[in-house]
């Protein structure tokens, strides 16, 4: 959905009293797309900045300048504040690189300093969450906001790990996927709800998507977290219905009205999703693919497809079956995908003829 369609949808929802500056909105939207389009360049720049920051920190620690715990804490807070101030002052690429690297280094030093003074690990995680939230409120810079969102979700994972409450991974994944589903399906409401959220929409979207993929990886890969396989299906109680819900919306949009066709789509969907009950990472990645496809979000779609391929390989590797049985399962899954493909292709060809 492009900006014109979003404005028209808002105008239809608000009625005759709706009024907006279309030119300003189009310019702001173009700037957001430019920021997203240059994300790869920014990531490469930040990667180089991280290497430089790593060498700098190695020199600092080797020189013994931060042998004191309070020195680490104080300097860490100063660097974090400096990074946030720098981003509010200007938004050039080189400044983004310096500020993000300083921001990450500041959190690292702050965490090490708090650990040295024996602050409880739960308090450290909460401090990181609060500082990251404050950063989101103070500055709406794309990259710094993206990093802050990753820090917030990483802190939640840290709290789950240090307290060994691994069952909360199901709550974590379900909450992230619910929020992402709302974000993708109700873009107009999100933009209309809050100016800050509207400005943070793009970094929130990519940050939550990456965090959701990381959460699914922790569930899919048994060696990371000690999650009992008999309870993994709990995540599927939320993820599978979300898939069906998104599929129902897509069906309406492409104009499927025949009851037999709808039944066929739902049956094929259920047939594919049932084997993923004990591997919620598969259905979770499929949900992300559907959401990104629905909103034509190319970056998220590519990340979701890569994650899905990884989860399929992990699922295949973890199966305690013979090679023949695994091959049959993959063959059956492939047949379901092909049926979906031929159905969608026939539908699109019918629309083109019309």
Residues 164-213: pLDDT tens digits?
888 888 889 999 999 999 988 887 777 776 777 777 888 888 999 999 99
* pLDDT reading at 159 higher than 80: yes
Q: How far is 132 from 149, CA to CA, in rounded Å?
A: 7
Q: How far is 79 from 59, CA to CA, in rounded Å?
A: 16
**pLDDT value, residue 169:** 86
CB atoms within 10 A of CB 298: 12
| All residues at 6 or more sequence positions from 1 whose CB lies less than 8 Å from its CB, including other chains | 9, 187, 295, 296
**pLDDT value, residue 91:** 59
Cβ atoms 162, 201 nearer than 8 A: no
For residue 321, what is the DSSP state? S
The rounded mean pLDDT for the chain is: 77
Q: What is the mean pLDDT of residues 214-233?
A: 72
Weakest-pLDDT range from 98-102, 112-116, 238-242: 98-102
Query: The whole model's pTM is what?
Result: 0.76
pLDDT tens for each residue of 309-350: 888 877 777 666 566 665 666 676 667 667 766 766 665 555
**pLDDT value, residue 230:** 58
Highest average pLDDT, of 25-29, 115-119, 129-133, 185-189, comes from 129-133
Banded pLDDT at 56 (limits 50, 70, 90) = low
**pLDDT value, residue 271:** 79
* pLDDT reading at 31 higher than 60: no
Tokens of 334: 């492939």
Which has the closest alpha carbon to 129: 160, 99, 102, 101?
160
3-state SS, residue 17: coil
Q: What is the mean pLDDT of residues 27-40?
A: 55
* pLDDT reading at 49 higher than 80: no
**pLDDT value, residue 37:** 47
Rounded to 10 degrees, the C-alpha dihedral 90/92/98/103 comes to 60
**pLDDT value, residue 175:** 92
**pLDDT value, residue 17:** 61
Q: What is the mean pLDDT of residues 26-35?
A: 56
Q: How far is 84 from 107, CA to CA, in rounded Å?
A: 12
Banded pLDDT at 352 (limits 50, 70, 90) = very low
* pLDDT reading at 148 higher than 70: yes
Cβ atoms 144, 99 nearer than 8 A: yes
Q: How far is 45 from 345, CA to CA, in rounded Å?
A: 41
**pLDDT value, residue 127:** 93
Q: What is the mean pLDDT of residues 275-289?
A: 86
The dihedral region occupied by 64, where left means phi > 0, alpha psi between -120 and 50, and beta the remainder, is left
Q: How far is 240 from 219, CA to CA, in rounded Å?
A: 16
Cβ atoms 343, 265 nearer than 8 A: yes
* pLDDT reading at 21 higher than 80: no
Highest average pLDDT, of 81-95, 130-144, 212-226, comes from 130-144
């Amino acid at each position: 959905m492009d900006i014109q369609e979003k404005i028209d949808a808002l105008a239809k929802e608000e009625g005759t009293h709706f009024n907006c500056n279309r030119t300003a909105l189009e310019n702001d939207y173009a700037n957001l797309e430019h920021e997203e389009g240059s994300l790869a360049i920014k990531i490469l720049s930040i990667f180089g900045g991280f290497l430089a920051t790593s060498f700098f920190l190695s020199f600092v620690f080797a020189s013994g300048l931060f042998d004191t715990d309070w020195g680490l804490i104080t300097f860490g807070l100063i660097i974090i504040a400096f990074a946030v101030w720098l981003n509010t002052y200007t938004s050039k690429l080189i400044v983004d690189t310096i500020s993000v690297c300083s921001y990450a280094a500041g959190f690292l030093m702050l965490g090490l300093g708090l650990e040295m003074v024996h602050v409880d690990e739960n308090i450290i995680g909460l401090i990181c969450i609060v500082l990251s939230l404050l950063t989101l409120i103070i500055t709406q810079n794309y990259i710094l906001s993206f990093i802050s969102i990753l820090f917030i979700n990483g802190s939640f994972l840290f709290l789950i790990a240090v307290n060994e409450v691994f069952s909360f991974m199901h709550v974590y994944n379900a909450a992230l996927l619910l929020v992402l589903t709302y974000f993708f399906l109700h873009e107009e409401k999100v933009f209309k709800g809050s100016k800050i959220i509207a400005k943070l929409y793009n970094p929130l979207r990519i940050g939550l998507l990456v965090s959701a993929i990381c959460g699914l990886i922790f569930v899919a890969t048994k060696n990371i977290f000690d999650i009992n396989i008999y309870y993994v299906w709990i995540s599927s109680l939320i993820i599978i219905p979300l898939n069906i819900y998104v599929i129902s919306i897509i069906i309406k949009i492409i104009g499927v009205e025949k009851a037999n066709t709808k039944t066929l789509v739902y049956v094929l969907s259920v047939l594919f999703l049932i084997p993923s009950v004990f591997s919620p990472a598969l259905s979770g990645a499929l949900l992300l693919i559907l959401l990104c496809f629905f909103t034509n979000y190319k970056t998220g779609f590519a990340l979701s497809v890569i994650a899905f391929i990884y989860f399929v390989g992990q699922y295949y590797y973890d199966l305690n079956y013979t090679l023949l049985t695994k091959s049959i399962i993959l063959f059956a899954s492939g047949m379901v995908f092909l049926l979906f493909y031929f159905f969608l292709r026939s539908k699109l060809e019918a629309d083109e003829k019309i």
